[in-house]
Amino acid sequence: MSPEGGLDAFLAAFDALPLGGFTGAANGRKYTVTRENLAGGKAQKLVARELGGTDYISLNLYRLDSGALLKPCEMPEEKVIRFVLGLEVTG
């Protein structure tokens, strides 16, 4: 986890996001976002696509007995952390 926010800040920001589809803004860009729970909430997925642009965010978050495990999909962990910490729901 990034020292900028730490695991607790990331998890709090992630958990505050609504389930299902919504629009949001992060880092000066607008996105369509989908957040879903899988396996009874033990696995969670977030996918975001920039509106009118090419940016793409995709991550899986696993809630294990040993703690949370973040697995970005083919992108740096720092990118998805910065995205979630900066994401504001707009609709």
Using alpha carbons, select from 71, 68, 57, 76 the residue that is nearest to residue 9: 68
* Residue 42 within any structural domain of the chain: yes
pLDDT computed for residue 8 by the predictor: 87
61 in any annotated domain: yes
- Is 1 within the bounds of a domain? no
pTM of the model: 0.90
- Which residues lie below 8 Å from residue 90, measured CB to CB, with a gap of 6+? 22, 23, 24, 25, 30
Domain that holds residue 44: 6-89
Sequence-distant (6+) residues with CB within 8 A of 81 are: 1, 2, 4, 5, 10, 70
What is the CATH classification number for the domain harbouring 51?
3.40.1420.10
Note the pLDDT of residue 5. 55
pLDDT tens string, the chain, 91 residues long: the values are 444 557 889 999 999 999 999 999 999 999 999 999 999 989 999 999 999 999 999 999 999 999 999 999 999 999 999 999 999 999 8
pLDDT of residue 86: 96
Tell me what pLDDT residue 87 has: 98
Q: Is residue 21 part of a domain?
A: yes
User: How many domains are contained in the chain?
Assistant: 1
Residue 52 lies inside a defined structural domain of this protein: yes
